[in-house]
Structure 1
Amino acid sequence: MHAVVAPPPVPVGQIKSFGPFGPKYEVGHALRQLEDGDWMIEVTMVETGEKAEYRWTHLTDDPVAH
Protein backbone atom coordinates (compact mmCIF):
# COMPACT_ATOMS: atom_id res chain seq x y z
CA MET A 1 0.00 0.00 0.00
CA HIS A 2 1.37 3.43 -0.98
CA ALA A 3 1.29 6.28 1.48
CA VAL A 4 -0.06 9.58 0.23
CA VAL A 5 2.68 12.17 0.49
CA ALA A 6 1.88 15.87 0.40
CA PRO A 7 3.92 17.89 -2.11
CA PRO A 8 6.48 20.40 -0.84
CA PRO A 9 5.50 24.05 -0.27
CA VAL A 10 6.06 25.25 -3.84
CA PRO A 11 6.29 29.06 -4.32
CA VAL A 12 3.86 29.06 -7.27
CA GLY A 13 4.17 32.21 -9.39
CA GLN A 14 7.61 33.16 -8.08
CA ILE A 15 10.17 34.15 -10.74
CA LYS A 16 13.55 32.47 -10.29
CA SER A 17 16.63 31.99 -12.45
CA PHE A 18 18.75 28.96 -13.25
CA GLY A 19 21.74 29.91 -11.13
CA PRO A 20 22.85 33.52 -10.65
CA PHE A 21 23.07 34.34 -14.39
CA GLY A 22 20.73 31.85 -16.07
CA PRO A 23 17.40 32.37 -17.80
CA LYS A 24 14.36 33.27 -15.73
CA TYR A 25 11.48 30.91 -15.08
CA GLU A 26 8.13 31.05 -13.31
CA VAL A 27 7.49 28.35 -10.73
CA GLY A 28 4.40 26.22 -11.33
CA HIS A 29 2.78 23.39 -9.42
CA ALA A 30 4.21 20.10 -8.15
CA LEU A 31 3.58 17.37 -10.72
CA ARG A 32 4.69 14.10 -9.15
CA GLN A 33 7.00 12.58 -6.59
CA LEU A 34 10.02 10.66 -7.86
CA GLU A 35 11.26 7.34 -6.51
CA ASP A 36 14.15 9.08 -4.72
CA GLY A 37 11.67 11.28 -2.81
CA ASP A 38 12.32 14.42 -4.84
CA TRP A 39 9.46 16.13 -6.72
CA MET A 40 9.08 17.30 -10.31
CA ILE A 41 7.79 20.86 -10.55
CA GLU A 42 6.35 22.50 -13.65
CA VAL A 43 8.23 25.66 -14.64
CA THR A 44 7.57 28.13 -17.47
CA MET A 45 10.43 29.95 -19.20
CA VAL A 46 9.75 33.69 -18.93
CA GLU A 47 11.22 34.64 -22.33
CA THR A 48 9.66 31.86 -24.44
CA GLY A 49 6.65 30.58 -22.51
CA GLU A 50 8.01 27.04 -22.88
CA LYS A 51 6.95 24.68 -20.10
CA ALA A 52 9.38 22.19 -18.58
CA GLU A 53 9.76 19.93 -15.57
CA TYR A 54 12.41 20.72 -12.98
CA ARG A 55 13.49 18.96 -9.79
CA TRP A 56 12.37 20.53 -6.51
CA THR A 57 15.86 20.13 -5.00
CA HIS A 58 17.36 22.14 -7.88
CA LEU A 59 14.62 24.78 -7.70
CA THR A 60 15.31 25.41 -4.02
CA ASP A 61 18.96 26.18 -4.84
CA ASP A 62 18.10 28.75 -7.53
CA PRO A 63 17.94 32.45 -6.63
CA VAL A 64 14.85 34.65 -6.90
CA ALA A 65 15.26 36.66 -10.12
CA HIS A 66 15.70 40.43 -9.98
Structure 2
Amino acid sequence: MTDKFIRQSRRFSEQLNTKQLPHECLHLSGANHYSVARMLGNTASSLFQKIASLNDDSNLRNNSA
Protein backbone atom coordinates (compact mmCIF):
# COMPACT_ATOMS: atom_id res chain seq x y z
CA MET A 1 0.00 0.00 0.00
CA THR A 2 1.19 3.48 -0.72
CA ASP A 3 1.35 6.16 1.95
CA LYS A 4 -1.36 8.07 0.09
CA PHE A 5 -3.69 5.07 0.08
CA ILE A 6 -3.12 4.56 3.82
CA ARG A 7 -3.75 8.27 4.52
CA GLN A 8 -6.98 8.18 2.52
CA SER A 9 -8.15 5.08 4.39
CA ARG A 10 -7.36 6.63 7.77
CA ARG A 11 -9.18 9.84 6.86
CA PHE A 12 -12.21 7.87 5.75
CA SER A 13 -12.10 5.90 9.01
CA GLU A 14 -11.93 9.16 10.99
CA GLN A 15 -15.00 10.45 9.16
CA LEU A 16 -16.89 7.27 9.99
CA ASN A 17 -15.84 7.70 13.63
CA THR A 18 -17.20 11.25 13.75
CA LYS A 19 -20.53 9.93 12.47
CA GLN A 20 -20.37 7.04 14.97
CA LEU A 21 -20.69 4.50 12.17
CA PRO A 22 -19.40 1.02 12.96
CA HIS A 23 -16.39 -0.01 10.90
CA GLU A 24 -12.94 -1.52 11.06
CA CYS A 25 -9.94 -0.14 9.22
CA LEU A 26 -7.72 -3.02 8.09
CA HIS A 27 -4.09 -2.73 7.06
CA LEU A 28 -3.40 -5.27 4.32
CA SER A 29 0.37 -5.30 4.06
CA GLY A 30 1.60 -5.22 0.48
CA ALA A 31 -1.89 -4.78 -0.95
CA ASN A 32 -3.01 -2.33 -3.63
CA HIS A 33 -6.32 -1.54 -5.32
CA TYR A 34 -5.95 -4.45 -7.73
CA SER A 35 -4.81 -7.06 -5.24
CA VAL A 36 -7.62 -6.07 -2.86
CA ALA A 37 -10.13 -6.69 -5.66
CA ARG A 38 -8.58 -10.13 -6.22
CA MET A 39 -8.75 -10.85 -2.48
CA LEU A 40 -12.49 -10.25 -2.54
CA GLY A 41 -12.89 -13.13 -4.98
CA ASN A 42 -10.52 -15.49 -3.17
CA THR A 43 -12.29 -17.40 -0.40
CA ALA A 44 -8.91 -18.27 1.18
CA SER A 45 -7.81 -14.61 1.52
CA SER A 46 -7.75 -12.86 4.88
CA LEU A 47 -9.95 -10.06 3.53
CA PHE A 48 -12.61 -12.46 2.25
CA GLN A 49 -12.53 -14.34 5.55
CA LYS A 50 -12.95 -11.08 7.52
CA ILE A 51 -15.93 -10.04 5.41
CA ALA A 52 -17.45 -13.51 5.69
CA SER A 53 -17.09 -13.39 9.48
CA LEU A 54 -18.92 -10.06 9.57
CA ASN A 55 -21.75 -11.62 7.63
CA ASP A 56 -21.79 -14.59 10.00
CA ASP A 57 -21.97 -12.23 13.00
CA SER A 58 -24.83 -10.33 11.35
CA ASN A 59 -26.72 -13.54 10.67
CA LEU A 60 -26.29 -14.61 14.27
CA ARG A 61 -27.70 -11.30 15.51
CA ASN A 62 -30.61 -11.44 13.07
CA ASN A 63 -31.50 -15.05 13.94
CA SER A 64 -31.46 -14.47 17.69
CA ALA A 65 -34.26 -11.89 17.53
Between Structure 1 and Structure 2, which shows a larger proportion of strand residues? Answer: 1
Query: TM > 0.5 between the two?
Result: no
Greater RCO (CA < 8 Å, at least 6 residues apart): 1
Using the size of structure 1 for normalisation, the TM-score is: 0.23
